[in-house]
Amino acid sequence: MINPLYDTLFGCHTGKSTPFIILPNGHTISYDEFLRMTASYANALTELGLKAGDRVAVQIEKSPEAIAVYAACTQAGLVFLPLNTGYTPDEVGYFVDNSGARIFICDSAPQASLKPIALATNALLETLDADGTGSLSDLAKTMPDSFATVSRNSDDLAAFLYTSGTTGRSKGAMLTQDNLISNALTLADLWQFSADDVLLHALPIFHTHGLFVAINTTFATGGAMILLPKFDLDQVIKNLPKATAMMGVPTFYTRLLDDPRFTDDLTRHMRLFTSGSAPLLAETHIRFEARTGHRILERYGMTETNMTTSNPYDGERRAGTVGPALPGVEIKITNANTGETIPDGEIGILEVRGPNVFKGYWQMPEKTREELREDGFFITGDLALIDQDGYVQIVGRNKDLIISGGYNIYPKEIELVLDEQPGVLESAVIGLPHPDFGESVLAVLVPEKAEQPDLEAISRNITKSLARFKHPKKMILLDQLPRNTMGKVQKNILRDQFKDIFS
């Protein structure tokens, strides 16, 4: 193959007149139309001077054109870097600078506030809006609708996704062509997707789940997608009768269950509902099955590993578990201190090895060595156990990382902002169970002596530095933070103290 990723997922559909994207207004884009659009964008990017291996940073809304930019990057051998649309200019500046992105594509509306980032990082700045307009689309429309696919190897980088840990800045997880191909083909086979499927796509596309799991799996089988701009309850209920499958996060399912229109009759023709990106409560499993007769298929993955485990399509889907390892993927549970493998049924750190596991962290060799062993096993940092049947239960995390609504949230980043607020001496940020988002953010603030911080003012202030999904759901004042004898804040005590605050 000239370009394994493009040829396997995209190029094989050239000339096909069957639908690929179905828009809410009923307009349909065929595979052939989409790939001609893709070629035009690939020509536009190369016309701007980009060459194989260059990074393309994008912070754009979901649209057919946005997906075409992703496919164009694969065809032109470029490295795709999707950024959360909620990130502030300060956050975006770090990602563009750290990645060395050659071009930054954004919406027209915030262009003025983002232009200094492009200037400071010597990145080209182009626009692409949700309606398909913008400077990049204007250029693409003048380009040919065919493109000579750039030759790449299976080990070449295809994408960067930035992920957070508990210390230091966000890390760029380097994903290869083979990482994406292997996962797409495995999931398509395991979940029995075919050209007859219509996926209801309401996920964001700056995230592994909505981009690589949903879109790549659809491409792998030649099915169609109903492309919703976002999760809108009315639109989801309206379009469910036209779909055969839906991929979601727990929030999707709790909101559907709260609506009386969501009935067994509405879902009778559906064959699959999957959930991931955050833990799904057993209660949601039970309510969903009682309402619809369907058992949600829960799976587990990370930015660094794509998907790793999945409950079976045919077989028992166990609430509270994320299923066995995917075919071709090895997992084990190890002792956090020694790294030695421990017996099934005991809790330890989940480690993963397989073609799905990333290549390492961009320009962070020491961090890569810390988390990616020489034998290929990646140390996830998640506390888990494997039961006697091979089903994995994620019981917590060995890090302070918070996952809320499927988004990774880095506590230290929030604490640094809160500590600068008037009247605040110090802060501790923790994630606590939330019935809708899996987890939500609680900030515990210690006032400076004789000060009474204005919590409402602090909430307003942090909007300039932090994306909305990182904002604390609640803020609480304490006289002091609990610490051990070494002076380290004991967040486990705070979690126990406030564990029911969002219930």
259-273, pLDDT tens digit by residue?
A: 999 999 999 999 999
Six token digits for residue 101: 């992105």
Question: CA 482, 487, 489: angle at the middle one, nearest 5?
Answer: 40
d(CA 360, CA 20): 33
Lowest-confidence region among 119-133, 395-409, 453-467: 395-409
Q: Give me the helix-helix angle, 250-257 and 282-292, nearest 10°.
A: 50
Give the sign of the dihedral formed by CA 132, CA 136, CA 142, CA 146.
negative
**pLDDT tens, residue by residue, 355-369:** 999 999 999 999 999
Cα-based distances in Å from 390 to 242, 345, 353, 382, 386: 35, 10, 16, 17, 6
Q: Which among 242, 264, 239 is positioned nearest to 198, based on CA atoms?
A: 242
Question: CA 369, 407, 471: angle at the middle one, nearest 5?
Answer: 115
Q: How many helices (H) and strands (E) does the chain have?
A: 16, 24
Q: What is the value of pTM for the model shown?
A: 0.84
Position 253 scores a pLDDT of: 92
| Cα dihedral: 459, 461, 465, 468 (round 10) | 30
Position 407 scores a pLDDT of: 86
d(CA 183, CA 276): 15
d(CA 357, CA 372): 9
Per domain, the residue ranges of the chain are: 402-497
d(CA 204, CA 248): 10
Domain 402-497 top-level CATH class: alpha beta
Position 247 scores a pLDDT of: 96
Q: What is the mean pLDDT of the chain?
A: 92
Cα-based distances in Å from 476 to 401, 484, 503: 20, 21, 16
Residue 358 CB coordination number (10 Å):
25
Query: Are residues 173 and 160 in contact, defined by beta-carbon separation less than 8 angstroms?
Result: yes
Lowest-confidence region among 288-302, 384-398, 445-459: 384-398
Q: Both ends of the chain: CA-CA distance in Å?
A: 53
In the chain, what percentage of residues exceed pLDDT 90? 78
